[in-house]
Amino acid sequence: MSEAASAMDRVLVELFGEDHGVVRDAATLTGVARFDGRAVTVVGTADRAVIGADVALRLARAVLDAMRDEPGRPILVVVDNAGHRLSRRDELMANNGCIAHLTRCLDAARRRGHRVVGLVHDLAVSGGFMATGLSTDLCYALPGSEVRVMAPAAMARVTKIPLDRLEELSAVNPVLGPGVENFIRVGGLEGVWDGDLMAHFREALSRPLDGADMRRALGESRGGRSAAARVAAAVRAGAAA
Amino acid sequence: MRVARHSFYEATARRRVDGLLDQNSFREFCGPAARIVSPHLPALGMPVAFDDGVVVGEGTIDGRKVLIAAQEGGFMGGAVGEVHGAKITGLLERAADVKPEAVVLLLDTGGVRLHEANAGLVAMGEIQRAALSARHAGVPVIVAIGGKNGCYGGMSIVARSCDWIIASEEGRLSISGPEVIETVEGIEEFDAQDRALVWRTMGAKHRRLIGEIDALVADDMGAFRSAILNFVGRPRPLDLDALEAEHAMLSRRLERFWDCADGRDVWARLGINDPAAVPALDADSFNGLVGALEGGRS
pLDDT by residue (tens digit) across B154-212? 999 999 999 999 999 999 999 999 998 998 899 999 999 999 999 999 999 999 999 99
Q: Strand locations in chain A, DSSP E?
A: 22-25, 28-35, 38-45, 49-51, 75-79, 81-84, 116-120, 123-125, 138-141, 146-148, 191-192
CA distance B178 to chain A (A): 9
Q: How far is CA B80 from CA A76, A170, B187, B207, in A?
A: 29, 18, 28, 23
φ, ψ of residue B219 in degrees (nearest 5): -75, 80
Comparing alpha-carbon positions, the chain A residue that sits nearest to B117 is: A176
CA distance B295 to chain A (A): 23
Decide if A71 is inside a domain.
yes
Decide if A217 is inside a domain.
no
- Count of structural domains within chain A: 1
Decide if A130 is inside a domain.
yes
Q: Could you give the count of Cα atoms lying within 13 Å of B194 in the half-sphere of its Cβ?
A: 15
CB A239 within 8 A of CB B29: yes
Decide if A95 is inside a domain.
yes
CB B266 within 8 A of CB B210: yes
Provide the CATH number for the domain around residue A109.
3.90.226.10
Between vectors from CA B7 to CA B6 and to CA B9, what angle results, nearest 5°? Answer: 160
Contacts of B161 in chain A (CB under 8 A): 100, 103-104, 107
Q: Do B201 and A92 touch (CB under 8 A)?
A: yes
Q: What is the pLDDT of residue A58?
A: 98
Structure confidence by residue, pLDDT tens digits, A127-170? 999 999 999 999 999 999 999 999 888 888 888 889 999 999 88
CB proximity under 8 Å: A 40-99 to B:
53-54, 57, 60-61, 64, 67-68, 84, 86-89, 91-99
Decide if A136 is inside a domain.
yes
Structure confidence by residue, pLDDT tens digits, A185-232? 999 999 999 999 999 999 999 999 998 999 999 999 999 999 999 999
Comparing alpha-carbon positions, the chain A residue that sits nearest to B212 is: A97
Helix (H) or strand (E) holding A54: helix A53-69
Instruction: Provide the residue range defining the domain that includes A136.
Output: 3-143+193-209
A160 closest CA partner among B44, B40, B176: B44
CA distance A234 to chain B (A): 7
Q: Measured between CB atoms, which of B114, B132, B258 is closest to A93? A: B258
Give the separation between CA B128 and CA B160, rounded to whole angstroms.
Answer: 9
CA distance B33 to chain A (A): 7
Q: Cα(first)–Cα(last) distance of chain B, in Å?
A: 34
Give the separation between CA B212 and CA A93, rounded to whole angstroms.
Answer: 9
Q: Are strands A38-45 and A28-35 parallel, antiparallel or unpaired?
A: antiparallel
Would you say residue B78 has pLDDT above 60?
A: yes
Q: Measured between CB atoms, which of A94, A219, A234 is closest to B210? A: A94
Sequence-distant (6+) residues with CB within 8 A of A110 are A116, A135, A136, A137, A211
Structure confidence by residue, pLDDT tens digits, B236-291? 999 999 999 999 999 999 999 999 999 999 999 999 999 999 999 999 999 999 99
Q: What is the pLDDT of residue B272?
A: 96
Q: Are strands A116-120 and A75-79 parallel, antiparallel or unpaired?
A: parallel
Q: Cα(first)–Cα(last) distance of chain A, in Å?
A: 57
Give the separation between CA A148 and CA B262, rounded to whole angstroms.
Answer: 32
Q: What is the pLDDT of residue B1?
A: 43
Decide if A29 is inside a domain.
yes
Asked if the C-beta of A164 comes within 8 angstroms of chain B's C-beta atoms, the answer is no
Structure confidence by residue, pLDDT tens digits, B119-135? 999 999 999 999 999 99
Decide if A238 is inside a domain.
no
Decide if A177 is inside a domain.
no
**Between the CA atoms of A165, A166, A170 and A175, what dihedral angle is there, to the nearest 10 degrees?**
140
SS3 B45: coil
Interface test with B, best of A87, A148, A225 (most B CBs within 10 A): A225
| Domains of chain B in sequence order | 13-173+213-237 (3.90.226.10)
φ, ψ of residue B256 in degrees (nearest 5): -75, -35
Amino acid at B223: A
Would you say residue A83 has pLDDT above 80?
A: yes
Q: Measured between CB atoms, which of B184, B244, B254 is closest to A93? A: B254
Interface test with A, best of B118, B197, B260 (most A CBs within 10 A): B118
